[in-house]
Structure 1
Amino acid sequence: MGESIFWLPAASEQGEQVDHLFFLLLAVSAIVTIVVFVLLVTFAVRYRHGSKAKRGKLPNLMRRELEIGWTAATAFLFLFIFWWVSSAQLEGYSPPPDALEIHVTAKQWMFKTQQPSGVREINELHLPVDTPVRLVMASEDVIHSFWVPAFRFKRDILPGRVTQGWFTPDKTGTFHLFCAEFCGTNHSEMTGRIIVMSQADYAEWTAGQPQGDDLGKEGAKLFVAKGCSGCHAPSSKVHAPNLAGLFGRKIPLADGSIVTADERYIRDSILQPRREIAAGYPPIMPSFQGVVSEEDLTRLLAYIRSIGKETP
């Protein structure tokens, strides 16, 4: 990996942005520290007790100029850093539409990943280089954190919630994966690796893996097995929303508000169906809390996303 004992080179496009910001803050902090130290030593020596240095007030005009200039300079510097950091952070939550979608389920004490092709791994994740990767993550038990230092990427994975993030690896190699949130007795052993390959090698690796159903197909089977199709299928006699074309749409609710049918809304509609009731539909759906696991929810979400591309 070409790692140094002093510095771990960034291996993603986002990591390079983080490094630039880090070095900027380091430089600003060093400059401020040096200026303060030099002024402190200079004044301590020049105006020490018994020295003949003149001691008098600065002219009012000069004093105002110094105060206004110093305050304005630091304010503009702060606003610039705030803009840079906030734009970089917000960008981390808006993946490109063509990003490779990887589903991650964290549990004590492992990361289970699943590729779009259905290939599953434990504590490993194979990725193609120079390809945006979107992670959709959920926890089966406690809070975990998906941390890849070389990518400068870390996201907490919370129970009862879908967490997302994305990055674009731009170097091939094997990189460490850690859980950065204390999650129990074997927390220190919850490690893994990210293998970034050339796109040709990744395609060859994928073709050589045992192929299972992709998440959407698994979700379709689960949709029928759990009885969801009995109400939500187009031919159903029950007055329930048709899920085709649902994902990403604006949904009016019974209380007059409007929400977007994203992963959060669909997940809550499965586990807490009476929390946000769609307008025009009776609150008759039962809760599936404790009936479906986190992995089942991931499959159902993938299925609803896939039929979201169809026309209702």
Structure 2
Amino acid sequence: MNSNNLITNSYKNKPSSLGHSHIVPLDFTNMVTVPDSHEWVTESVPVIDLSDPNAKTLIGEACEKWGAFQVMNHGVSMELLNQAELEAFRFFSLPANQKLRVLRSPESIIGYGVPRISSYFPKLLWSENFTMMGSPIDHAAQLWPDQPHKQTTFCDVMEECQKEMKALTERVVELMLESLGLTMEDLKWHSRGQCLFTLNSYPMCPEPERAMGLCPHTDTSLLTVLYQSSCTGLQVFQDVIGWIPVPPIPGAIVINIGDLMHILSNGRFKNILHRAVVNKTRHRVSFAVIYGPPSDEMISPLTKFTNDEHPPLYRPVNWKDYIYSKALHGNKALLHLMN
């Protein structure tokens, strides 16, 4: 049998419900929109209503399939989200020399500067951020030394936003664990979990195709709880389809699964690869709670997910050392932890 016959015979018995549509290309020159038959990006991360009785199950499914989802009816007021967005814009719109008053020191995680993730990549990012843990009163006093009302407003909004988003974070973690048949008590350290609160800015970019707000990465944390405001920019990666935008939905908050949650679940929950692109005409801000264990707590696959047939995929590691490993190895850091 020659090669042409071999190829022909391998296809002739395959069923085809589309007839000639698998043979004859579309007349591309006359198309003004993409027809449904040619649309590949037909979905994005799930949107889950936390008041839904099935929310726990839906969250578990989203963690396994996507590693990310959006939540509605989450308990964080829209008024507070709008206030925090306004304060973020106000902060990032300050003159550069004023923002530099609260510049983060090289050894610190608190303060203003380029995203710490910048150290993972050879090129710099078209973004800036301000990270806090608890009250930013000391920084606010430096930013507006002669305007105590601005200090008070900024601090009040940031503290309340941290409080409400941390409560949401703990609620989501609890639902995630319950979807696995666990409780918060299975995380012996849960009462000592850490939350960082970060404001992110992606200024208008004259050549957005040449820049990146945040390069493709997975988060080092257990999870990140993000409000992305009304301007699109966040994208997640799915095999086959590629990069998929996460559309801003009024009032919705995005949940991203991080590497440490992937480790705890012994690979069952997906750690989502994501990035942020920039915009030529709009300045975009977002803010997020980054949640993780105490920095010295050793994290390893929970015993519920390991046995002789499914041994632990990863060696124990603490968050502090894993952040260092991520800086060295980038997105390959998890590979260096595999048994």
Which TM-score tier does this pair reach, normalised by the shorter chain? under 0.3
TM-score, normalised via structure 1 length: 0.26
TM-score, normalised via structure 2 length: 0.24
Larger Rg: 1
